[in-house]
Amino acid sequence: MVNWLEVLVYVIAGTAAVLAIVHLVRDRPAEDGMYLLLGIAELALLVQLVWGSINLAGTSRDVEGALFVSYLVGLVLVLPIGAFWSLAERTRAGTAVLLLAVLTVVGLELRLSTIWAGAGA
């Protein structure tokens, strides 16, 4: 996989997590800037889905293909679900949902790296 893309996802997710924590502490719902940041993260995850699928097709590594692709697709789905849920729940709980979605992206990204490295299930 592309290391710079993975780092980009971590940086954006980390920034979004810090913003969500600040909003939680201040007891405020997420603002437009946070949704813009999540949109940028989603674009990076879409690029990662395409790039990861291309790399999987062209690799000779021992990678569990179905598992790898399912994590790529799962990563793409997490943020929109969290964002829509947060928009429906415009309270502190909605902001907590966004924080959970961002942390889920970090966890899935870490697991994706492990799968790509060949550790498998």
- Residue 72 pLDDT more than 90? yes
C-beta separation of 105 from 6 below 8 A: no
Nearest in space to 46 (alpha carbons), one of 76, 19, 13, 22: 76
Q: How many contiguous H segments (helices) and E segments (strands) does the chain have?
A: 4, 0
CA distance 69 to 22: 33
CA dist., res. 55 & res. 59, Å (int): 6
Task: At 61, list the tokens.
Answer: 């590594």
Reported as a pLDDT band with limits 50, 70 and 90, residue 99 is: very high
Residues 3-58: tens digit of each pLDDT: 888 899 999 999 999 999 999 999 888 888 889 999 999 999 999 999 988 888 88
State the Cα torsion 102-107-110-114 to the nearest 10°. Answer: -150
pLDDT at 78 over 70: yes
Look at the chain and report how many structural domains it folds into.
1
Question: For residue 109, is pLDDT > 80?
Answer: yes
Q: To the nearest whole number, what is the mean pLDDT of the chain? A: 88
- The confidence band for 75, taking pLDDT boundaries of 50, 70 and 90, is very high
Looking at residue 31, what is its pLDDT? 84
Mapping DSSP to helix (H, G, I), strand (E, B) and coil, where does residue 28 land?
Answer: coil
What pLDDT score was predicted for residue 114?
87
Query: If we measure between CA atoms, which residue out of 1, 5, 119 comes closest to residue 63?
Result: 119
The residue range of the domain holding 99 is 3-117
